[in-house]
Amino acid sequence: MSKLISLGCAIVMLCASSVASAGSESGFYLGASVGNADSDAEYRDTAAGDISFDDADTGYKVFLGYNFGVVPFLNLAVEGSYVDFGTAKGTAAGSSVESKVNGVDAFGLVGFNLGPVALFAKAGAINWDSETTVLSSTVNGSGTDPAYGVGLQFQLGSLGLRAEYEVFDLEEVEIGFASIGMSYTF
């Protein structure tokens, strides 16, 4: 009976150690997330004057990254993604306003493994495009601005479940993006 208990404990320890080290694996990873994009916008329009509104819509992103796995409990990674923040809608000066923003971003990530759970912070930039419609006129914009975020990831083998909050501080719009998603490490 004691041999069976010892064997069971050894199997549990082996499984736990493989899950604990899974977050520190190096290699490419691919993932997708969906969430809430909260846009806080301030525009200046020649016909309508100063316009400001706050609205949220469903956004999504597809990301690709590489984890260097330098130290067992520390993750260093680079990550890029395509992100679409949906359409923010509002009214200003009695007129409807719609703003669509999407872009491509690049981040550096630092994460700390706590067993199968990892906490991470990221900083980078986004190259964005926007289309804003006010009083039946459309204004297009683009630029490159800073972005940063924090997150939590649960790693089970090569599969990761991820929750994060990112801030994209664009020229006329600040977007807070809270999302959940999955990643797969190759």
Confidence of residue 119 (pLDDT cuts 50, 70, 90): very high
| Short-list 85, 119, 99, 109, CA closest to 52 | 99
| Rounded Cα–Cα distance for residues 2 and 98 (Å) | 69
- In the predicted structure, residue 45 carries a pLDDT above the cut 60: no
Tell me the sheet residues that pair with 146. Answer: 125
pTM: 0.81
Instruction: Report pLDDT for 49.
Output: 60
């010892």: which residue's tokens? 6
- 109, 115 contact by CB (below 8 A): no
| Chain mean pLDDT for the chain | 84
Confidence of residue 17 (pLDDT cuts 50, 70, 90): very low
Identify which has the larger pLDDT, 90 or 46: 90
- In the predicted structure, residue 64 carries a pLDDT above the cut 70: yes
Confidence of residue 43 (pLDDT cuts 50, 70, 90): low
Domain ranges of the chain: 2-185
The share of the chain scoring above pLDDT 70, in percent, equals 80
Pairing of strands 173-185, 159-169: antiparallel
Handedness of CA 157, 158, 161, 164 (dihedral sign): positive
Per-residue model confidence as pLDDT tens digits over 174-185:
899 999 999 999
2-185: what fold? Porin (2.40.160)
